[in-house]
Structure formats: structure tokens, C-alpha cells
Amino acid sequence: MVCPDPAGPHPCVGEIVVTYFRILEDAASHAFTYLLADLTARRAVLIDPHVADLSVLRALLSEHDLHLSWVLRTHHHGDWDVQAALAMLGAPLVQGNAGAFGRPGEDGVLLKFGHEHLRVLATPGHTPNCLSFAWRDRLFCGDLLSVDGCREQPHPSLPEAVWDSVTQRIFTLPDETLLFCGHSSRSSAVSTVMEQRHWHPWFAKMTRDEFLTRIAKVRSDNTDVFA
């Protein structure tokens, strides 16, 4: 299934597509926003934008003469005021739970922007309806998986789903796939599937039962965040 890019042009045979990629970090939360664009078609996508950064994001779109095709969220926590603000960007809002302002992201759907597209992956766990978005050699996985931990996962809504999403959806991608997480960590914001499959402290060389047992222990110790 392919969702068309609203008002997006069709590719021309032989046309060279020039892309643009930008990472912005929110100073208060250390959360990332990702801007992807097809500069040839002047179409763009925002992944996990933050309301505090909307003026900066609008300026970036204007600077490059970009028209926003999609606003994508890997997850949310019932923040209806944020969703209302993001809806004001004027592009369809796609997230795991549609809410009042968005539309649900369906696993496997392709979201076109100009000559480019992203693929939606259902990766529940951090929240019941988490999504990840694949673009070229990159996967944007939000707070499901970070370089050296799982953000705020002592109390994941679905610990079994965390394990299944990471091991069955993310770790089965090609080794060289670049993983872009939702928040910065002590080491790096970007990793690869191969690196995380072999060295992630919570998933590498651990069975599903061992993972769930470890989470249960963290919960019993009343730890707020683990890495």
C-alpha cells in the first residue's frame, strides 16, 4: 500500500534527485527532530518535531523552499495539545494512535515525499503503538532503542513487545542500516544494526526470558531509568 504525497510531483525519467537531511536536538529534553527532504521536488518530512522548535523548523523549510508532506511521530504520550500544535504545520500527522488530529500509521505503508518515500514499521513496546520509519539506509526508531539502552524502559508498557520489536523487526534489518534514536545518550545518537545486535547491553547475547527477568528486577528495585 502506498500513501500518495499530497500535491507531490511524479518522478521524471532520468531526473537527478537531490536529498537533504538535518538533525536538530531540543536543548531541554535532548530529544531529536529529523528533517528529510527531496530538494529536487521541494518536498519534506519531519520526524518527531517538538513544539518549542516549530519556529526554527518553519524557517528551515522556508530557507530551502520546502513544502511539508508529512509530520511523523514514532510515539506519543497522550499529549493532545502537542498534536494540535503539530497539526497547524499543515501536513498530515501520522502516528501509531491517530488521536483527534492524526491518522494511524499502518505497518508496511509507504509515505511518499516527492521522489522519495519512507516505509512504516510497527514497533510497539515503548508505547503500545510505537512506529519506526525506514528511509533508504536509515531507520528512525524513536525511544524504542538507543545506542546504549532503552530510554525510560524500567516500566515499559509492553516489555515483551519491546523485545520482539527490537529482535524481530530492527535486528533483522541489514547490518549496515543506520539507527537514529529519539534522544541523545552518553555515547552517540547514531549506530548500526550490526553494532547493536552484537553489543547492546540489554539485547545482545541475552535471551527473551533473561531480558524480561532483568526488567522485572529493575522494576522491583524501583529504578527510574536504566542504561
pLDDT value of residue 183: 72
pLDDT value of residue 147: 66
Q: What is the DSSP string of the chain?
A: -EEPPTTPPPPPTTPPP-EEEEEEE-TTT-BEEEEEEETTTTEEEEES--GGGHHHHHHHHHHTT-EEEEEE-S---S-HHHHHHHHTTSS-EEESS-TTT-EEPPTT-EEEETTEEEEEEE--SSSTT-EEEEETTEEEEETS--SSS-TT-SS-S-HHHHHHIIIIIITTS-TT-EEEESB--SS-SEEEHHHHHHH-TTTTT--HHHHHHHHHHHHHTT-S---
Q: How many CA atoms lie within 13 A of 40 on its CB side?
A: 14
Hey, where are the domains in the chain? 1-9+17-105, 123-220
The answer to whether the 1-9+17-105 and 123-220 domains have the same CATH topology is yes
pTM above 0.85, yes or no: yes
pLDDT value of residue 185: 63
pLDDT value of residue 99: 67
pLDDT value of residue 150: 61
Per-block average pLDDT, block size 10, for the chain (227 residues)?
52 71 85 94 96 92 96 83 88 83 87 96 90 96 76 66 94 96 71 92 90 83 53
Question: Domain 1-9+17-105, what fold?
Answer: Metallo-beta-lactamase; Chain A (3.60.15)
CATH 3.60.15.10 fits 123-220, yes or no: yes
pLDDT value of residue 3: 57
pLDDT value of residue 14: 54
pLDDT value of residue 159: 87
